[in-house]
Amino acid sequence: MHGFSRLGNGRANGVSPPLSTTPSPPSSPRFRHSRSKNASFGSRSPKLHTFAERLVYIVLSAVYRKRGVLLFAPLVYISGMLLYMGSLSLEVVAPVVVVKPAPPGSTYRSPQVFEKLRPFMQDDGNHSSNALMTAWHVKSHQSWKHCVNQSISQAGYSELPRSNGFLIIEANGGLNQQRLSICDAVAVAGLLNATLVIPMFHLNSVWRDSRVKAWSSPTYYIQKVLPKLLQMGAVRIAPFSNRLAQAVPSSIQGLRCLANYEALRFSQPIRTLAEKMVDRMVKNSSMSGGKYVSVHLRFEKDMVAFSCCIYDGGEEEKREMDIARERGWRGKFNKTGRIIRPGAIRMDGKCPLTPLEVGMMLRGMGFDNTTSVYIAAGKIYKAEKFMAPLRQLFPLLETKETLALPEELAPFKGHSSRLAALDYTVCLNSEVFVTTQGGNFPHFLMGHRRYFFGGHAKTIKPDKRKLALLFDSPNIRWEYFKRQMQEMLHHSDLKGIEMKKPSSSLYTFPIPDCMCKQVEPGKSDRSTPIII
């Protein structure tokens, strides 16, 4: 018998090998097992034409031999998928960026809201009564009258004692900051039994005593200032702003009341022109019985810049506001670590209302396009753009520039406090006053209006947090918007008569220090303007 050769029959080339007489040793079981596997896979190497086929072949070979199964299993899956897709090319996939929507009330969308509500505003104005005639509801038991002279006479100021010396103050700031300084100085002079020298305005101090701390109590003046007054014969406090506490004895409060509401008057040139302007507003308001609305609009360029709020002016607005902030406040807004969040500022109700927003608010409250409106303001930022929609809503709109003749305004040009005094007087005589941003102007004006209108401020003080939400809703329904505005007007009516709290200002809340309860409500004489 011939032994079986591991080399096969040797006929691959057609040559018969010589027969061997020596048997080959038997192959080991392990070798036979391995050979059988290879034989089962195929004794010939396949023709591999592409890189993909070669890669799959190598991977499958490794898997078949049970070597690196766990390592290459994912590659098998990926390779199969790539072959199925017909490509092995690798592409860089851009990461998906998820942009969170802005919180409600953080974005200026008032123009979009206006476009949605404008047809309804126009239609509604033709079928409803003017809110100017029904805005306020003063009950008889809530009526008050001013009684400053009575409180002063009861305090025993009929005869003045010998003066302890002279009190000299410097009244700085704007119109109403100066008013505050003067009235408080009158009260301090009464407290110290000093003669108040006519205050100086915006003058540099050549010499000055130690400064009096802010919101000082009467005790502080008696213990610290009076000894110096008696020693020197005169005391100068400069600047004199917010130097007297709000809570003082009634006799001192009476002097404040007398100074602010009765004694202090604008100069005669201001009074003369202001009276003409009020008369013209009353005549222009004949359709509403001489009643008109006044608005203190704080949308000047410096106010917009200081607020850090964003409107719809894009890059141009940003560049202008950055320049205005740097020019006015010299790096205050660029300090290291300071983070400005315009959206949060708007949601908090601290953004100045635009003329458009004021107009939509008033129309929602029920003031129709026959309402005469007076705008008290400085130079409005981009007035041509922002004032146009307000004029569409209220064609009978006036400012001091349109109400007074150019030659009448000429002596006041360049004097901001004098121009503010004209605005103050016209606003004081309006049936409805609207405050939009706070500050001394509306605070003092609300006090004067309460003093002259039986205790009621007749002032709309809008909820600007709620307005931010409503003006950020382009799909808002007119009926819902109108209901929200009318509730806001009703709330202002309820807060019209308000008692002074211990920490509040007498110049905003004259009740009860400057006013007394009256049995029957008095009627304001609208034929005679209130000129202060």
Q: Where are the domains of the chain?
A: 109-137+268-437+457-496, 166-262
Determine what percent of the chain is predicted with pLDDT higher than 70: 75
**What does the block give as tokens for 358?**
């004021």
List, in sequence order, every residue forming a beta bridge with 434; answer none if it has no partner: 295, 460
**Could you report the per-residue pLDDT of 331-381, keeping only the tens digit for each?**
888 888 889 999 999 999 999 999 999 999 999 999 999 999 999 999 999
Identify the pLDDT of residue 529.
Answer: 82
Identify the pLDDT of residue 4.
Answer: 43
Q: Could you count the other beta carbons within 10 Å of the beta carbon of residue 195?
A: 14
pTM of the model: 0.77
Residue 458's contacts (CB-CB under 8 Å, 6 or more residues apart) are: 135, 136, 431, 432, 433, 449, 496
Cα–Cα separations (whole angstroms), residue 315 to 276, 320, 347, 446, 515: 43, 9, 22, 38, 52
DSSP 199: P
Q: Could you count the other beta carbons within 10 Å of the beta carbon of residue 232?
A: 12
Identify the pLDDT of residue 95.
Answer: 66
Cβ 500 vs Cβ 455: under 8 Å: no
- In the block, tokens 């006929």 appear at 11
Identify the pLDDT of residue 338.
Answer: 86
List, in sequence order, every residue forming a beta bridge with 398; answer none if it has no partner: 374
Torsion angle, alpha carbons of 491, 492, 493, 494, to 10: 50
* Helix orientation angle between 355-365 and 110-125, rounded to the nearest 10 degrees: 40
Identify the pLDDT of residue 150.
Answer: 62
Cβ 120 vs Cβ 128: under 8 Å: no
What's the chain's length in residues?
A: 532
Cα gap 2→205, rounded to integer Å: 133
Q: Which residues of the chain are modeled with pLDDT < 50?
A: 1-43, 88-90, 203-210, 525
DSSP 491: H
Please list, residue by residue across 344-376, b when 16 or more beta carbons sit within 10 angstroms of its beta carbon and e when fewer do. Answer: ebbbebbbbbbbbbbbbbbbbbbbbbebbbbbb
Identify the pLDDT of residue 32.
Answer: 45
Torsion angle, alpha carbons of 336, 338, 339, 345, to 10: -160
